[in-house]
Amino acid sequence: MKPLQDLAVDLAAGKTTSRDLVEGCLAAIDASPEGERAFVAVHSDRARVTADAIDTLRKAGAPLSPYAGIPMSVKDLYGVKGEVSAAGSKVLRDNAPEAEDCPTIARCRQAGFVFIGRTNMTEFAYSGLGLNPHNGTPRSPWDRETGRIPGGSSSGSAVSVADGMAAVTLGTDTGGSCRIPAAFCGITGYKPSAYRVPLGGIVPLSFSLDSAGPLGQSVDCCSIVDGILSGEGAATPEPLDMRSLTFAIPQTLVMDGLDETVAATFDLTVARLRDAGATVVEVPFTELGDIPAANAKGGFAAAEAYAWHKDLLAARGAEYDPRVGGRILKGGEQSAADYIGTLTERNRLIAAANRTTTPFDAVITPTVAIVPPAIAEVDDDDAYGPVNILCLRNTLVWNFLDRCSISLPCHRAGDAPVGLMLTGERGGDAKLLRVAKTVEGLLAQGI
C-alpha cells in the first residue's frame, strides 16, 4: 500500500475511494495466513460503513482531513469505544468493552482514519520477540517459509503494515516495541519523546518508560500520525542538507555482538552517509554500559508491571504466558530502596548522556543486533530469555534515557531486514524526524 501522503493525494483527486482502500486491506487480511495471526479482531462491516460515509462526505465537498478514509490498525491495548482491550492476553478478554475512546484513538478518529481491526501483540507488551501462545505468532515478511519472529511487542501492528493489511498502525514502545518489529518487518517505526503523547486509556506496562507511537511505510507516515497523536498537528518533515549533519556511533554496549549481516549492512550504511557528506564520529558513550546494571533486578518495567498485575496474577496467574508472568513476578522482589536506586541512577545517566550527545544531530546504531531468528529457535525456555535481552538491548537504552528514536530499513531489497536506528534529544522530535527524512532519502537510492 502507498504511503499516507500519496493515499491522501489519490483520495483528493478521486483516483481512489476509502471503500476501495478498505476492501484492499480486507482482501489482504483474508488472502494470507498472517491475517488471522496479525489481527485479534477485524472490523469488516464497521470499516465498510465508515468508509462509505467518508466517501459520501468527500463527494459532497464536505471539509475533511486529508487522511479521512485511510485504513489504520490498532494494537490490542488501545482503548477503543465498544471494544475490549485484552492486551494480547486471555485474562482480559472477558472485560467489559471500553465506554469511550482513549485520547489517542479519539484524535485518530477525528482525523478520519478508518479502524480496520485490533492487532496481535506480545502479551501485555512484555517482550521484544513478538511471540504469543494465546493468539499465535505472525511471521516476519522475510523468509516466510522458515517462519521468523516479527519482533515485539507490536508484532501484529508491524506485519499488518508490511503486508498491506493497513496503511499505518498504532504501536507502543517501552523498550523497543515500535522499533524492533519495524526493523524485523522492513518498515519504519517511531518512538516519540514519551511526554508528548497521552497514555490515558492504554493498558500500561511501565508508566516510567511507556510511549505511544506509529509504524508505517515511511518517515512521513510516522510524522503525520505522530503529529495527530501528540495534538501538534499532522505534518511532513523537510529534509536537511546531509553535509550539515553530524552523527555519533557509541562504542559501548550497542555495537557488541552484531551478527555478520547486521554488521555488514550497518557498515555499508555508515559509509554511504560519509560519502554523502555527513560527519560520523565514534564516541565512547560509557553511560550506556551502566544501564544493564541499573536494570539488573528488572528495572522500572518489572516493578511497575508488578504493581499493576499483582492482584490479577494472584487470581489468574496460570492463564498468563509463563514467560511474561514470570518476568512480571520478579518485579515483586524489588524493594522500595531498589526502585529509588534505579530512579536515582536514571537521573544521573540522563544528565551524563545529555552532555555526551549535545554536539550531534543524532546517535546512530543498528536497531537490533541480529536479523530475525526462526520462531522455532526462540520458542524454547532456554533460548527465549537471552534472545529477548539481545533484541531489546539497543532500543531500551533510549527509553531509559528518555529519548525520541526511529528505526528505518537500511537493507537492500530482498536481503534480510536490518534497521538503522537514529536517536535524538528528549523533546527533539521535530529535528529527529527531519534528520530521519534526510537519511531515508539517501537509503531509498539503494533499496
Q: Which of 157, 177, 223, 407 is catalytic?
A: 177
Q: Which of 32, 127, 153, 193 is catalytic?
A: 153
pLDDT tens digits, residue range 92-135? 999 999 999 999 999 999 999 999 999 999 999 999 999 999 99
- b (16+ CB within 10 A) / e for 410-429: bbeeebbbbbbbbbbbbebb
Overall pTM > 0.95: yes
The answer to whether the CB of 95 falls within 8 A of the CB of 102 is no
75 is annotated as an active-site residue: yes
For residue 447, the model assigns a pLDDT of: 55
Q: For residue 231, give Cα distances in angstroms to 95, 100, 154, 195, 405.
A: 29, 18, 22, 12, 19
For residue 446, the model assigns a pLDDT of: 72
DSSP 371: P
Domains along the chain? 4-230 (3.90.1300.10), 242-289+354-444 (3.90.1300.10)
- Nearest alpha carbon to residue 282 among 400, 364, 355: 364
What is the secondary structure of 179-227 as a DSSP string? HHHHHHHTSEEEE--GGGS--TTB--S-TTT--EEEEESSHHHHHHHHH
153 is annotated as an active-site residue: yes
310 is annotated as an active-site residue: no
Residues of the chain with pLDDT under 70: 447
pLDDT tens digits, residue range 354-407? 999 999 999 999 999 999 999 999 999 999 999 999 999 999 999 999 999 999
Pairing of strands 188-191, 212-216: antiparallel
Rounded to whole angstroms, the Cα distance separating 171 from 155 reads 9
SS3 (DSSP) at 62? coil
Which strands form 212-216's sheet, in the order they lie side by side? 39-42, 114-119, 71-75, 168-172, 212-216, 188-191, 405-409, 419-423, 362-366, 246-250, 279-283
For residue 285, the model assigns a pLDDT of: 97
What is the secondary structure of 15-52 as a DSSP string? SS-HHHHHHHHHHHHHHSTHHHHHEEEE-HHHHHHHHH
Q: Which of 18, 75, 193, 208 is catalytic?
A: 75
Cell numbers describing residue 185: 518487518
